[in-house]
């Protein structure tokens, strides 16, 4: 077949494959055009998740009849007056979006310039342009996109559900709304208005915080730290959440470069580095950062979707982000450990070898017989003691390191328990850490982290046996969530029910929980549901929850474990230590943190200069 030039409509459809992947992509491009046109109010309406209709209406500068006809031509743009791809000052600049969308849909644009006598209207169907005609529309521009991808039916097969497509568009709108707090945005479908934010006036930081609070949640606005830094002409501003206000994934981390929402690995790595010593692994802070730098210092022409950027001085940008975040967090009251504390912690070491699942032989005693029973039936021997973990707190004694008087029999039993790998419980520090004495040192156990692992292993065992016991809530709990997060949970309700969590939709953006896994006892249901929704946001939608069993069980176990601040008796502490010794992977919690550290007698003597 001879070499030939492809028809223009085929070229546009090929370009549409890169620029317009789904209805949300069309929304992004059209809203960015409205922003570039100076609009202060942008309204978007979608039908059937954008399949049948997308309309974008703005009050921007509008277009003349000549400009309206030209905008459907490829690479026709008003945003590169000097034909310079280095100094890009607008969101759009390639001139591909409108013709690409028009080539795969039925598109109509009605536009009227400010002060013009009338508007002009032009329709294009599958790339075939109609005749331009005068119209009576208001100042600004209205774009209607009907039957998207009708000209490329194969692309329709790759679209997700209406709810998922609308959710993707909602995410796009939220990001743009964060970047431009002075602009009013709305997004609606045939049933409701999912996003409505009004333009802010006055101080930019106040406008950002108000806009971020309305989108990321009021809790974020109450727990955010102001970020402001500058280095070598590069400015960084925005807000970051305090370390204790975190999520199970990085979906609430937003980065904007010169007003453009981007997804950049450099940014993700910088945030992880800044919070590295303040957050547990697999926990992520919430933040929104706005980077302003000269246009010649960043390349936004990396991909037609314009979601990726390249920095000329990537190391300097990363250093600015890490430094600004660390400084702001330190100013908020977080301090580094003292030198003496560092030396003491350096003497502790995490157990490097797994605990034996079968304990060595012990002298015949009540505890020895109890341990033999534990080896044969690891969980049955702890049923009563484990249930007591969820009992109401005893507030009769003041919070302090607790050490009860021992009877001679208890002292003898404790000495026998010192031969176990984790020793005999002696006390509880700050109602958080168990201090156990071993034959040649001591062990310090994080009671919450340890019990997390135990609960998780029990849950996995019950799931493998398809026998997860559930407890009905006396009063079902309603949990308000982000609409997208609530939809994720509703779509996985059947799978969650198999894991012991019975929930169902409760209106828009809410979930009602009726039953929870019995082994969790009294847990923070709101926190559990929020973290599960975050986890589902990161899971591959093609995978079942059983395929990601460890992730889901870890989240549930975290909310059903003995909490820091819970007073335990000596018997409860010893029961926890013994169960750790017969539970696989008990040396680390579900988040990768150690559950205990061991200090040998020789290490203690080194601390005091005895050797």
Of all residues in the chain, the percent with pLDDT exceeding 70 is 73
Question: Would 341 be classed as within a structural domain?
Answer: no
> Is residue 611 domain-resident?
yes
2 located within any domain? no
Closest by Cα among 611, 599, 594 to 346: 599
Q: 564-569: long-range contacts (C-beta < 8 A, 24 or more apart)?
A: 564/431, 564/432, 564/446, 564/447, 564/448, 565/431, 565/432, 566/389, 566/393, 566/431, 566/447, 567/393, 567/394, 567/397, 567/402, 567/428, 567/431, 568/389, 568/428, 568/434, 568/447, 569/404
Q: What's the maximum distance between 2 C-alpha atoms anywhere in the chain? A: 101
Whole-angstrom distance, CA of residue 54 vs CA of residue 143: 8
Domain boundary among 197, 229, 248: 197
Taking residue 290's Cβ as centre, other Cβ atoms within 10 Å add up to 20
Question: Are 170 and 193 within one domain?
Answer: yes
- Same domain for 269 and 357, yes or no, is no
Whole-number percent of the chain with pLDDT over 90: 29
| Domain match, 481 and 604 both | yes
Q: Could you give the C-alpha distances from 445 to 226, 244, 251, 572, 593, in angstroms and in order? A: 36, 22, 32, 13, 12
Are 168 and 280 found together in one domain? no
* C-alpha–C-alpha distance, residues 611 and 599, integer Å: 15
195 pLDDT above the threshold of 90: yes
541 or 122: whose pLDDT is higher?
A: 122
Same domain, 327 and 363: no
- Overall number of domains in the chain: 3
Question: Residue 224 CA to chain centroid, in angstroms?
Answer: 16
301 and 153 share one domain:
no
Other beta carbons less than 10 A from residue 391's beta carbon: 11
Which one of 197, 212, 246 terminates a domain? Answer: 197
- Model pLDDT for residues 19-34, shown as the tens digit of each residue: 688 999 999 999 999 9
Same domain, 209 and 181: no
Hey, is 201 helix, strand or coil? coil
If asked whether residues 610 and 470 sit together in one domain, one would say yes
Q: Nearest CA to 240 among 186, 321, 309?
A: 321
Kindly state whether residues 430 and 317 are assigned to the same domain. Answer: no
Is 609 part of a structural domain of the chain? yes
Going along 303-411, which residue ranges are E strands?
310-311, 349-350
Instruction: With 0.95 as the threshold, say if the pTM is over it.
Output: no
User: Mind giving me the DSSP string for 62-92?
Assistant: ---HHHHHHTTSTT--SS-TT--SSS--SS-
**Per the domain annotation, does 346 fall within a domain?**
no
In this structure, is residue 160 part of a structural domain?
yes
Q: Are residues 173 and 209 in the same domain?
A: no
Q: Span 192-220, mean pLDDT?
A: 88
Give the residues across from 298 on adjacent strands: 311
Q: 425 Cβ partners below 8 Å, 6+ apart?
A: 417, 434, 435, 436, 570, 573, 574, 577
Q: Higher pLDDT residue, 203 or 540?
A: 203
Instruction: Tell me how crowded residue 473 is: count the other CB atoms within 10 A of its CB.
Output: 14
Shared-domain flag, residues 145 and 211: no
- Chain-centroid distance of CA 611 in Å reads 49
C-alpha to C-alpha distance for 3 and 57, rounded to whole angstroms:
43
Q: Each residue of 344-370: pLDDT tens digit?
A: 445 444 444 555 554 444 444 444 444
Mean pLDDT of 537-545: 61
pLDDT for residue 376 is more than 60: no
Identify whether residues 411 and 556 lie together within a single domain.
yes
With a cut of 50, say whether residue 378 has pLDDT above it: no
Range of the domain at 407: 352-611
Q: How are beta strands 119-125 and 106-112 bridged, if at all?
A: antiparallel
Indicate which CATH number applies to the domain containing 266: 3.30.230.10
Least confident of 162-171, 398-407, 519-528, 600-609: 398-407
Q: What is the DSSP string of 501-536?
A: -EEEE-STTEEEEEEEEGGG-S--HHHHHHHHHHHH
The verdict on residue 139 lying in a domain is yes
Opening angle at CA 20, ends 508 and 217, nearest 5: 30
Q: Give the domain-ending residue among 331, 364, 383.
A: 331
Q: Give the CATH number for residue 70.
A: 3.30.565.10
Say if 339 falls within a structural domain.
no
Average pLDDT over residues 64-71: 89
Helix axes 549-559, 447-464, angle to 10 degrees: 130
- CA 50 to the chain's CA centroid: 26
Q: In angstroms, what CA-CA distances link 378 with 358, 401, 413?
A: 11, 30, 20
Mean pLDDT calculated for residue range 33-59: 95
Q: Give the pLDDT confidence score for residue 126 in this predicted structure.
A: 86
């Amino acid at each position: 077949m001879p070499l030939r030039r492809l028809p223009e409509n085929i070229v546009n459809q090929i370009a549409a494959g890169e620029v317009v992947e789904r209805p949300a992509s069309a929304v992004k491009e059209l809203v960015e055009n409205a922003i570039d046109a100076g609009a202060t109010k942008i309204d978007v309406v979608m039908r059937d998740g954008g399949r049948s209709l997308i309309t974008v209406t703005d009050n921007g500068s509008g277009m003349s009849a000549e400009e309206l006809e030209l905008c459907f031509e490829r690479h026709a743009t008003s945003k590169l007056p000097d034909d310079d791809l280095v100094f890009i000052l607008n969101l759009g600049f390639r001139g591909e979006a409108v013709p690409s969308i028009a080539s795969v849909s039925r598109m109509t644009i009605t536009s009227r310039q400010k002060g013009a006598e009338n508007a002009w209207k032009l329709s294009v169907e599958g790339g075939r342009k109609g005749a331009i005609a005068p119209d009576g529309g208001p100042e600004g521009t209205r774009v209607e996109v009907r039957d998207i991808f009708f000209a490329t039916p194969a692309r329709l097969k790759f679209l997700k559900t209406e709810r998922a497509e609308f959710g993707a568009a909602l995410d796009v709108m939220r990001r743009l709304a964060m970047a431009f707090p002075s602009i009013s945005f709305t997004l609606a479908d045939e049933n409701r208005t999912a996003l409505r934010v009004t333009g802010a006036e006055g101080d930019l930081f106040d406008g950002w915080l108000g806009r971020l609070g309305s989108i990321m949640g009021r809790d974020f606005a109450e727990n955010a730290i102001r970020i402001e830094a500058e280095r070598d002409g590069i400015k960084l501003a925005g807000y970051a959440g305090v370390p204790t206000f975190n999520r199970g994934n990085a979906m609430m981390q937003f980065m904007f470069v010169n007003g453009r929402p981007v997804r950049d690995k450099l940014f993700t790595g910088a945030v992880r580095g800044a919070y590295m010593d303040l957050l547990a692994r697999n926990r992520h802070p919430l933040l929104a950062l706005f980077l302003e730098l000269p246009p010649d210092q960043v390349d936004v022409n990396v991909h037609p979707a314009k979601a990726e950027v390249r920095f000329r001085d990537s190391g300097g940008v990363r250093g600015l982000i890490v430094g600004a975040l660390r400084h702001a967090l330190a100013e908020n009251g977080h301090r580094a450990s003292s030198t003496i504390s560092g030396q003491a912690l350096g003497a502790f070491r995490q157990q490097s070898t797994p605990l034996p699942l079968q304990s060595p032989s012990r002298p015949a005693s009540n505890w020895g017989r109890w341990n033999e029973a534990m080896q044969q039936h690891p969980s049955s021997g702890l049923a009563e003691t484990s249930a007591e973990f969820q009992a109401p707190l005893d507030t009769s004694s003041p919070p302090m390191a607790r050490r009860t008087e021992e009877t001679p029999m208890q002292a003898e039993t404790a000495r026998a328990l010192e031969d176990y790998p984790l020793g005999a419980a002696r006390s509880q520090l700050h109602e958080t850490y168990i201090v156990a004495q071993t034959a040649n040192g001591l062990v310090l156990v994080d009671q919450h982290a340890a019990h997390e692992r135990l609960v998780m292993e029990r849950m996995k065992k019950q799931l493998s046996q398809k026998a997860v016991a559930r407890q009905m809530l006396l009063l079902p709990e309603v949990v308000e969530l982000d609409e997208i997060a609530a939809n994720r949970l509703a779509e996985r309700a059947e799978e969650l029910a198999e894991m012991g969590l019975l929930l169902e939709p409760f209106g828009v953006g809410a979930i009602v929980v009726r039953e929870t896994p019995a082994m969790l006892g009294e847990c923070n249901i709101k926190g559990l549901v929020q973290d599960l929704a975050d986890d589902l946001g990161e899971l591959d939608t093609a995978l079942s929850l059983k395929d990601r069993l460890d992730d889901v069980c870890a989240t549930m176990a975290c909310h059903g474990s003995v909490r820091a601040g819970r007073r335990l008796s000596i018997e409860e502490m010893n029961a926890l230590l013994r169960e750790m010794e017969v539970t696989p992977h008990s040396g680390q919690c579900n988040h990768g943190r150690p559950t205990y550290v061991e200090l040998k007698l020789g290490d203690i003597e080194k601390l005091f200069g005895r050797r």
